[in-house]
Amino acid sequence: MFKKIFLYSLITNFFFTKKIFAAESVGMPQLNPEFWISQIFWLVLTFGLLYIVLSKLILPKISANLELRKSQIQENIEAAENQRKSSEAKLNEFDGIILKSKIEAKNIFKDAREKVIKNINSKKEILDKQIDDEVKKAEVEINTLRQSAPEKINKIAVVTSAEILKKLIGAEVNNSSISAIVDDLVKKNGDKYYGH
Amino acid sequence: MAANPMTQFEVYRIGPEIKVGAFDISFTNASLFMVISSLAILIIFNLGSKKNSILPNKIQLLAELSYSFVSKMISDTAGSKARPYFSFVFSLFMFVLFCNMFGMIPYTFTVTSHIIVTFILAAFIFIGVTVIGFIKHGFGYLKLFVPSGVPIVLLPLIVVIEIISYLSRPISLSVRLFANMMAGHTMMKVFGGFVVSLGIVGGWLPLSFSVALTGLEILVAFLQAYVFAILTCIYLNDALNLHH
């Protein structure tokens, strides 16, 4: 409806302005009192209605909306603050637990290490003893072998020499004479041969 | 359109002549734009206050920003005592702003370019503020005309000047708005006429000037609405917080 009136006014604008322009072309239309009463009436009516509707219906709603948003934001901030606090407390608790378990773990590790070291030490002692025993036995054996070695070597030397001589000269040589020579050599160079 | 830049301010009847007694209250183009402005305000702010979401949409944001803008303007100039008059100042600011802005559309009518309209608004504000002042302070309100710290010799002169300045408030308030709107629109019309008369060759200079002037006029339209509202707040402040 207003659109219609607006269009109507646009269309008739030319006509009216031409008419008025022809009627009075001097001065300001504002000072022509012809429509003053009409303007005052419509101003009071429209502005009055505007004021009443805005103040009674619309502005309280906007104000309430703003208040609600403000309080909601405040609430959210408070909730966030609370959650932050609780999370901080939980973080502290968590840190405490971590610290405690670290100490516990250290203790367990220490205990285990001591146990293992003890175990190793005892086993090592036993092993050392066994090794010592073995070494001693071996040493005794070696000693007996060493002591009996020259005699056997002499014998071997005598037999070998006799065999060699027999092959070389084709005659039997008295073993006793060879052994005498070997003995003599041993007496002379025994140190060199056996490392005494 | 006629070449006379003043024809845009002509008021003419739309529809039949309505007479109440001796008074002609016919619906005119001025009435039409008062109705359009009021309806536009009501529609925009109704849409802006309908739904309340935490994240406002554009129209809600517009309504709420306007609300806080006017609210801040009042509390800054007139303090918390002016709270009951918020609705009035808000309506006033929006009405003047929308009338000014609708006037910026070509072929429309600027309601506020008529002295009678601005004068009625200003006179209502003046009377209202004076009544509020006398209700709040009784005859103590007359102390407004006696500034403190003035030498006794100068006092009669100062009081006379203060009274004249107080009484000229509605005139200055109304003429400021009316003259600004009328001058701006006349100037735009004159430059528009130059564009037509100088034609395709010489019309470019006034055309560019006209474009710049349109921007300036939109600024003036807002500024004058703001000034109108803030002066109302200042007068309210005088009436509510008498500090002389």
First to last CA, chain B: 54
Tokens of B146: 């006696």
Tokens of B16: 């039949």
pLDDT for A14 equals 47
Instruction: Identify the weakest region by mean pLDDT among A10-14, A59-63, B90-94, B142-146.
Output: A10-14
Q: What is the least distance, in Å, from the CA of B239 to any CA of chain A?
A: 21
> Does residue A25 surpass a pLDDT of 90?
no
In angstroms, the CA B136 to CA A172 distance is 165
pLDDT band at A29 (very low <50, low <70, confident <90, very high): confident
DSSP B24: E
pLDDT for A54 equals 93
User: Residue B24 phi/psi, 5° resolution?
Assistant: -95, 110
Q: How many CB atoms lie within 10 A of CB B208?
A: 12
Binary contact (B49, A54; C-beta < 8 A): no
B12 interfaces chain A, CB cutoff of 8 Å:
yes
pLDDT for B225 equals 95
Q: Is A186 exposed, middle or buried (0-12, 13-18, 19+ CB in 10 A)?
A: middle
Quick: pLDDT tens for A42-51: 999 999 999 9
In angstroms, the CA B75 to CA A4 distance is 42
pLDDT band at B54 (very low <50, low <70, confident <90, very high): confident
In angstroms, the CA B228 to CA B182 distance is 16
Interface A:B, Cβ pairs < 8 A: 160
List C-alpha distances in Å: A98 to A91, A93, A95, A101, B9. Answer: 10, 9, 5, 5, 84
**Nearest Cα residue to B229 out of B164, B177, B163:** B177
- Residue B2 belongs to some domain of the structure: no
Kind and range of the H or E element at A139? helix A59-169
> Which residue's entry shows tokens 């509202």?
B229
> Which residue's entry shows tokens 């003047």?
B96
Quick: pLDDT tens for B172-196: 999 999 999 999 999 998 998 888 8
pLDDT for B92 equals 95
pLDDT for B140 equals 86
> Does residue B6 surpass a pLDDT of 90?
no
Binary contact (A38, B30; C-beta < 8 A): yes
pLDDT band at A138 (very low <50, low <70, confident <90, very high): very high
Binary contact (B4, A21; C-beta < 8 A): yes
DSSP B19: E
What is the average pLDDT value for chain B, to the nearest integer? 90
Q: How many CB atoms lie within 10 A of CB A171?
A: 7
pLDDT band at A5 (very low <50, low <70, confident <90, very high): low
CA geometry: angle B91, B178, B175, nearest 5 deg: 100
- Residue B72 belongs to some domain of the structure: yes
- Residue B117 belongs to some domain of the structure: yes
| Range(s) of the domain holding residue B15 | 7-240
pLDDT for A18 equals 45
> Does residue A53 surpass a pLDDT of 80?
yes
Share of chain A above pLDDT 90, in %: 49
Binary contact (B87, A65; C-beta < 8 A): no
In angstroms, the CA B37 to CA B109 distance is 11
How many domains does the structure of chain B reveal? 1
> What number is the average pLDDT over the span B63-67?
93
**Selected residue with higher pLDDT from A8 and A129:** A129
> What number is the average pLDDT over the span B80-103?
94
> Which residue's entry shows tokens 């006092």?
B155
> What number is the average pLDDT over the span A130-136?
94
- Residue B98 belongs to some domain of the structure: yes
pLDDT for A21 equals 44
> Does residue A34 surpass a pLDDT of 50?
yes
In angstroms, the CA B180 to CA B185 distance is 9
Neighbouring residues of A114: CB distance < 8 A, sequence distance ≥ 6 = none
For residue B48, the chain A residues in CB contact (below 8 A) are 62
Binary contact (A39, B116; C-beta < 8 A): yes
> What number is the average pLDDT over the span B204-227?
94
pLDDT for B15 equals 82
In angstroms, the CA A40 to CA B20 distance is 13
Which of B7, B36, B63 faces A62 most closely, judged by CB atoms?
Answer: B63
pLDDT for B66 equals 94
pLDDT band at A106 (very low <50, low <70, confident <90, very high): very high
Instruction: Identify the weakest region by mean pLDDT among A159-163, B93-97, B236-240.
Output: A159-163
User: Residue A136 phi/psi, 5° resolution?
Assistant: -65, -45
In angstroms, the CA A105 to CA A96 distance is 14
CB B227 within 8 A of CB B176: yes
**Nearest Cα residue to B97 out of B214, B185, B232, B221:** B221
> What number is the average pLDDT over the span B126-148?
89
- Residue B174 belongs to some domain of the structure: yes
pLDDT for B18 equals 83
Share of chain B above pLDDT 70, in %: 98
Q: What is the least distance, in Å, from the CA of A101 to any CA of chain B?
A: 46
CA atoms within 13 A on the CB side of A116: 6
- Residue B74 belongs to some domain of the structure: yes
pTM above 0.90, yes or no: no
In angstroms, the CA B118 to CA B116 distance is 6
Q: Which amino acid is at B104?
A: M
User: Residue B13 phi/psi, 5° resolution?
Assistant: -70, 140
For residue A3, the chain B residues in CB contact (below 8 A) are none
pLDDT for A8 equals 56
Neighbouring residues of A35: CB distance < 8 A, sequence distance ≥ 6 = B11, B24, B26, B28, B30
Q: Is B53 exposed, middle or buried (0-12, 13-18, 19+ CB in 10 A)?
A: exposed
Q: How many CB atoms lie within 10 A of CB A181?
A: 12
Quick: pLDDT tens for A141-192: 999 888 888 788 888 888 888 888 888 887 777 777 777 887 787 777 766 6
